[in-house]
Amino acid sequence: MSYTSRQIDKSLIEDMTDILAHRGPDGRGTWYAEGVALGHRRLSIIDLSSNGAQPMLYRDRYAIVFNGEVYNYIELGEELRGKGYVFSTRTDTEVVAAAFDLWGAEAVHRFNGMWSFAIYDLQEKTLFCSRDRFGVKPFYYTNNTERFAFASEIKALLPVLPGKPHANIPRLIDNIVYGFFDHTEETMFDGVKQLQPGHSLTIDERNGLRIQCYYDVSRIQYKKRSYAETVDEFRRLFIDAVDIRLRSDVTVGSCLSGGLDSSSIVCTSTRILRERGEGKHEVISSCYDKKDEKAYDEQEYIDEVVRSTGVDVHKVYPNIDDFFSDLDDIIYHQDEPIGGLSLESQFAVFKGAKKYGLTVMLDGQGADEQLAGYTAFYSVAIREYIRKFRLLSALREFRAFVRLRSQSEQFGLQVVLWHIVRDLLPPPIRKAIKKLMTKREEESWLKVSHDEGFIDKLKSYRDFDDYSKKSMKYGLLQLLHYEDRNSMANSIEGRLPFLDYRLVELALSSKLEYKMYKGVTKRVLRDAMKGILPEKIRCRYSKLGFAVPADLWITQYPERIQKELEASLESLGSVFDKDKVMEWFKSNKGNKIALANTTLWRIIVAGRWVNAFDVRVG
């Protein structure tokens, strides 16, 4: 959208559109009006005919580009027909446009799905943009005195930035040293922002740019209900969430790790498809066959699900050679220097999906954050009980933590006590102890100052409820970034049943004990899946996810790792003291746990990112 000229540089728009060809290999389109242009790349999933092409004009008043899926489009379409609306396509895109015509900005509250879309109103000369509740789909933009431009990926905006892209150093350090990204509207590219989850944006010449928050998980309130009612409701909503995410005119498969979340989706999908009389479900799994990698392999559980459901399984076997050969490709598609070795496992799964002709994949992201699935939730729960003087409950959960998740009682006690000390003591004492006990070696590697307090604020929480909501708001968003880019890099649409907002609201409005009790995490999900999941999976408490044997790879290839690290430090010379980092690396060469340090991997990735996008640092 141009502020200074009625003429649009069409060649620029065409180039920006084609940069995103991997997100939509099935079609492309551009649309121009006075001072406005829209471009779109199509991944055909619903209504494969040319009727679904975008940008789509609706009622000769609205031009829409839409990325994602609104899964309840059938029900919404029926409601709109009852109000006199007529549809000429079978797409959810047309339903979104009609809903906006009727309800305006409030239409987003009626959508159940994932989306980033922009609608230009030719009559009002206003552009309305929106991003889904949890940020499953991305929305980036740059806004200056000349123009407002937006895209699903940052790389498509680089042609409109003045000169070479510059690194946003504070956000770069947030990521490399502390592991945070996507936690603000800023990105690691200076001048590029993201529309945050649950937000909409309106822009016109009279009022400029306005951003509104329409949804925030922190506003979800506790609701009193019995445990039996919660289990029944969770089961009903989960089955429906999977059911509506199977709506597609192309093949839908699933990612299967063998864990509770992905197995629940696969078993539920299989049951639904069997009831419909449809064909077999196909799944992709990441596995490890080497003898020394067996601790990272989940084939025992994957095979149990396959036996139980009869699904067709395709297994992929990532390795460190794949990681380094895929690394530049992964960095290009992720846009920002994020992640480490675990990305290779997920990337390999989606490459496998493409190889076997699966265009849509169901995945289990979101369950851990809403249902207390991570180990850290034990400490948070114990802290909660102590604060409320429920000491027997605290002791019960500590013993369960040691029994189910900890290697030893001593280790478990250290973990729990540290969290309690950190969170219960007055701030000045807490800060002094933190500085004494958790001084990060990586902080001494920096050549620039950095505000650590900002990260501390993000990590702090009031209680179990607040911790869960912050996990949904910040931690999950990082995983969604990986999910979207790794899937779309392979022209695959990832769908996430656990992020049906009805499920999230049910979980986050429920009691702590409904999610964790006697050490059993995701309690309500486990009980809701009785009769659907094999008992071996339903009662499984170990957790891996997209794990990779990073420590083994490092000890097998120390020279390669050292070479990569040195090269990246050269690219990041104004940020890190190369001598200090390399001194630490060499002194820890025999310590595979130390060398699995994710900061080292983030430095390697960041250095490659600088070169991949020709980023100026410093």
pLDDT at position 300: 94
55 cis-preceded (ω within 30 degrees of 0): yes
Q: Which DSSP letter does residue 576 get?
A: B
Write the single-letter amino acid at 125.
K
- Separation between Cα atoms, residue 476 and residue 367, nearest integer Å: 10
- Tokens encoding 453: 């307090």
Q: Is the pLDDT at 417 greater than 70, yes or no?
A: no
Longest dimension (CA), the chain: 73
Q: Each residue of 117-153: pLDDT tens digit?
A: 999 999 999 999 999 999 999 999 999 888 999 999 9
Domain 221-370+469-538 class, CATH top level: alpha beta
User: Which CATH superfamily hosts domain 10-215?
Assistant: Aminohydrolase, N-terminal nucleophile (Ntn) domain (3.60.20.10)
Q: Each residue of 356-381: pLDDT tens digit?
A: 999 999 999 999 999 999 988 988 99
- Separation between Cα atoms, residue 483 and residue 501, nearest integer Å: 18
- Separation between Cα atoms, residue 460 and residue 179, nearest integer Å: 15
How many Cβ atoms from other residues are within 10 Å of residue 357's Cβ? 10
**Residue range 30-38: average pLDDT?**
96
The three-point CA angle 457-460-461 to 5° equals 130
- Give residue limits of the domains in the chain: 10-215, 221-370+469-538, 374-468, 550-612
Write the single-letter amino acid at 270.
T
pLDDT at position 387: 86
pLDDT, the chain, mean: 90
Q: Are 190 and 168 contacting, i.e. CB atoms less than 8 angstroms apart?
A: yes
- Tokens encoding 104: 């305006």
Residue 121 backbone phi and psi in degrees, to 5: -95, 105
Write the single-letter amino acid at 310.
G
- Tokens encoding 538: 């339903």
Q: Is the pLDDT at 414 greater than 70, yes or no?
A: no
Q: Each residue of 449-508: pLDDT tens digit?
A: 887 777 777 788 889 999 999 999 999 999 999 999 999 999 999 999 999 999 999 999
pLDDT at position 297: 86
Of the CA atoms within 13 Å of residue 458, those in its CB half-sphere come to: 17
Q: Each residue of 581-609: pLDDT tens digit?
A: 999 888 877 666 666 567 888 899 999 99
Prediction pTM value? 0.93
Question: What would the DSSP string read from start to end of 208-247?
Answer: EEEEEE---GGGPPP----HHHHHHHHHHHHHHHHHHTT-
Q: Is the pLDDT at 79 greater than 70, yes or no?
A: yes
Q: Is the pLDDT at 411 greater than 60, yes or no?
A: no
Q: Each residue of 216-256: pLDDT tens digit?
A: 999 999 999 999 999 999 999 999 999 999 999 999 999 99
Q: Each residue of 294-324: pLDDT tens digit?
A: 878 899 999 999 999 999 999 999 887 887 8
Query: Hey, which residues does 67 pair with through a beta bridge?
Result: 116
**Residue range 404-431: average pLDDT?**
63
Q: Is the pLDDT at 64 greater than 90, yes or no?
A: yes
